[in-house]
Amino acid sequence: MTTSWWREAVIYQVYLRSFADSDGDGLGDLDGLRSRLDYLQALGVDGIWLNPCYPSPDRDHGYDVADYVDIDARYGGLPAFDRLLADVHARGMKLLMDLVPNHCSSDHAWFQAALAGDQDARDRFIFRKGRGDDPPNNWQSVFGGPAWTRAGDDWYLHSFDPGQPDFNWRNPEVGAYFEDVLRFWFDRGVDGFRIDVAHMLFKHVDLPDWTGGSGYNGLAQNRPEVHDVHRRWRKLADSYGRDLTLVGEIWVPTVADLALYLRPDELPQAFFFDLLVRPWDATLFRASITRGLEEIAATGAVVTWTLANHDVHRTASRLGVVEHTSGPPTRPRGVVDTALGIRRARAAVLLELALPGSVYLYQGEEAALPEVLDLPDDARQDPTFLRTGGAEVGRDGCRVPLPWTTDGPSFGFSSSADTWLPQPPWFGDYAIESQAGVAGSAVEMHRAALAIRRAHPGGELEWLETGREDVLAFRRGGLVCVTVFGPEPHTVPYGTPLVSSDADEPAEGSVPGVTTAWFQA
Ligand code: GLC
């Protein structure tokens, strides 16, 4: 039996509008990405997850899809997509797209028809009468403010922005539509999908008020009916016989809830966010890793590790918070020690890359790029910022266009200096190209780690005694991974490491403080 490629794959997430711009309009595009495939191949990733690049009015930067079977002209349209896919495959890499099934854009033809009064079209969304002048229930949008907006006499539900009306998944036409969408892209050759908020789709049938307080609304997500959709999609994907994958973005209260989505006939993969929300603490990291390995592996699935994406603060800043004053664990705010954050982020990702399962890296993570925490308010575009009146600063700071070179009009991102979000002057210090080939750089650490991962077939994880609470060590296959969380170095009996997160030349027999190192077992 051959092992599915995705079980141990390292996938690189491309937030397209911020990756590389080929035509000088300040917005990343598909030919820009294509021009950087040599870099990604040399980095050693197995594939790319492409954030939504369908036609969209960009109320939520592509997560408001106006047409599911086309590519936005600003990114190069379908011809550029086909060129990209061919070049990705020619390099032996995979390409995953992003499916957004909970909602579409208010510009989508169905929603426009619904607004124009077409009853069949209205039944594909969730329109209800209000309670007097008030919305049909008290649900809040994930981005802040009510989850309902008035349209004529009725209100429609939008779990996110008003520009993102929720589909009515109880209408079979919606399910049939998404199966056609999946087929369209699978027939074109894509290797899988990341599924946006895969736990939402179904809402409690009666839409009652939520009385559980702010935050997670259990009536609007994680309903039992959703599992059938994933079963159907899994069957559809498997029918291609190409080992396609589906990776769910699933935020549910417990790992046990998450594991339900990974039953053998459901999704092959789902992000394990449990580790992403942990602060830099050996005990918490170990407990989270153990939860993942035990509870996810019990379903026969592997863990899909991730420390960063386009919705959370970049790891170098998130783990650099030395005094947390506000914000959720995904986007903590407070006093940030960036130098310490970078050390921790590098150590964390090297630890992650040693774990059994697959890993998703977020563009710029390989360069230890920090979050842009101080974007000017008038530059911010995230609906989270706009809908909370600035109380939540939102996600723009991890979406600033990448620095490729130390100088140039936008540090090599575009020929224009006018990028869709402004880059701070210090961005050039983290330029990806300036790290390539430089021993001790974050980019070279990733390249080395990915090469070693490929050369060493995995195996079960076995924890090793370290005698210190702030040091984790485990053996896996032919490797030992040691992470020192605290500042004091730790003596080890293994010689010189194969790779280390410390920028200095590795010393024999010792791992410095706040460092991960891999050794030959
Ligand atoms: C997911 C996406 C996020 C988007 C939201 C609504 O959480 O990752 O970027 O805003 O869904 O589609």
Three-state DSSP class for residue 55 = coil
What are the C-alpha distances in Å from 155 to residues 59, 146, 502? 19, 11, 55
Give the pLDDT band of residue 495 (cuts 50, 70, 90).
Answer: confident
Which residue has a Cα nearest atom 6 of ligand 1?
Answer: 63
pLDDT score for 101: 99
| Average pLDDT for 114-129 | 98
Using one digit for the tens of pLDDT, what is the confidence trace for 149-193?
999 999 999 999 999 999 999 999 999 999 999 999 999 999 999
Nearest to 18 by CA among 398, 369, 306: 398
Contact 476, 354 (CB under 8 A): yes
pLDDT score for 202: 98
Percentage of the residues of the chain whose pLDDT score is greater than 70: 100
As for ligand 1, residues whose beta carbon falls within 6 Å of it are 60, 63, 100, 160, 196-197, 249, 310-311
What are the C-alpha distances in Å from 417 to residues 20, 23, 26, 27? 13, 12, 7, 11
Give the pLDDT band of residue 507 (cuts 50, 70, 90).
Answer: confident
Contacts 24+ apart (CB under 8 A), 25-29: 25/74, 25/414, 25/416, 26/401, 26/410, 26/414, 26/416, 26/418, 26/419, 26/420, 27/74, 27/419, 27/420, 28/75, 28/401, 28/413, 28/414, 29/74, 29/75, 29/76, 29/80
Contact 348, 315 (CB under 8 A): yes
Ligand 1 centre to CA of 491 (Å) is 44
| Average pLDDT for 335-352 | 98
User: Cα 439–279–462 angle (5° rounding)?
Assistant: 70
Could you give the CA distance from residue 74 to residue 382 in angstroms, rounded to a whole number?
Answer: 19
| Average pLDDT for 302-324 | 97
Of 166, 249, 311, 396, the active-site residue reads 249
Average pLDDT over the chain, rounded to whole?
97
Q: Where are the alpha helices (DSSP H) in 221-312?
A: 226-238, 255-260, 273-276, 282-291, 297
Could you give the CA distance from residue 166 to residue 139 in angstroms, rounded to a whole number?
Answer: 13
Query: Rounded to 5 degrees, what are φ and ψ at 507?
Result: -95, 150
Rg (CA), the chain: 23
Does position 117 have pLDDT exceeding 70, yes or no? yes
pLDDT score for 304: 98
pLDDT score for 2: 64
Q: Does the pTM of the predicted model rise above 0.85?
A: yes
pLDDT score for 277: 97
Which residue has a Cα nearest atom 12 of ligand 1?
Answer: 63
| Average pLDDT for 15-30 | 98
Of 58, 60, 191, 196, the active-site residue reads 196
pLDDT score for 214: 84
pLDDT score for 373: 97
Q: Report which ligand 1 atom has the smallest distance to the Cα of 64.
A: 12
Which residue has a Cα nearest atom 3 of ligand 1?
Answer: 311
- Which residues are paired to 246 by β-bridges? 193
Is 196 an active-site residue?
yes
Sign of the torsion formed by the C-alpha atoms of 516, 500, 373 and 48: negative
pLDDT score for 431: 98
pLDDT score for 1: 44
18: exposed, middle or buried (Cβ count in 10 Å: 0-12, 13-18, 19+): buried
Three-state DSSP class for residue 181 = helix
CB atoms within 10 A of CB 189: 14
Give the pLDDT band of residue 322 (cuts 50, 70, 90).
Answer: very high
Ligand 1 centre to CA of 462 (Å) is 35
Does position 426 have pLDDT exceeding 80, yes or no? yes
Q: Which residue has the tokens 């086909």?
A: 82
Sign of the torsion formed by the C-alpha atoms of 326, 332, 336 and 340: positive
How many H helices and E strands in the chain? 16, 20
pLDDT score for 133: 95
Does position 245 have pLDDT exceeding 80, yes or no? yes
Which residue has a Cα nearest atom 4 of ligand 1?
Answer: 63
211: exposed, middle or buried (Cβ count in 10 Å: 0-12, 13-18, 19+): exposed
| Average pLDDT for 387-396 | 91
Nearest to 237 by CA among 273, 190, 295, 302: 190
Q: Which residue has the tokens 């069949």?
A: 120
Helix (H) or strand (E) holding 32: helix 30-35
Q: Report which ligand 1 atom has the smallest distance to the Cα of 159.
A: 6
Three-state DSSP class for residue 73 = helix
Using one digit for the tens of pLDDT, what is the confidence trace for 431-470?
999 999 999 999 999 999 999 999 987 889 999 999 999 9
| Average pLDDT for 197-220 | 96
Does position 419 have pLDDT exceeding 50, yes or no? yes
| Average pLDDT for 488-506 | 93
Does position 3 have pLDDT exceeding 90, yes or no? no
Could you give the CA distance from residue 471 to residue 465 in angstroms, rounded to a whole number?
Answer: 9
Tell me which of 63, 216, 309 to substitute to probe ligand 1's pocket, judged by most ligand atoms within 8 Å of the beta carbon: 63
Using one digit for the tens of pLDDT, what is the confidence trace for 246-285?
999 999 999 999 999 999 999 999 999 999 999 999 999 9
Ligand 1 centre to CA of 196 (Å) is 6
Structure tokens belonging to residue 134: 């008030």
Does position 505 have pLDDT exceeding 90, yes or no? no
Percentage of the residues of the chain whose pLDDT score is greater than 90: 94
| Average pLDDT for 382-410 | 95
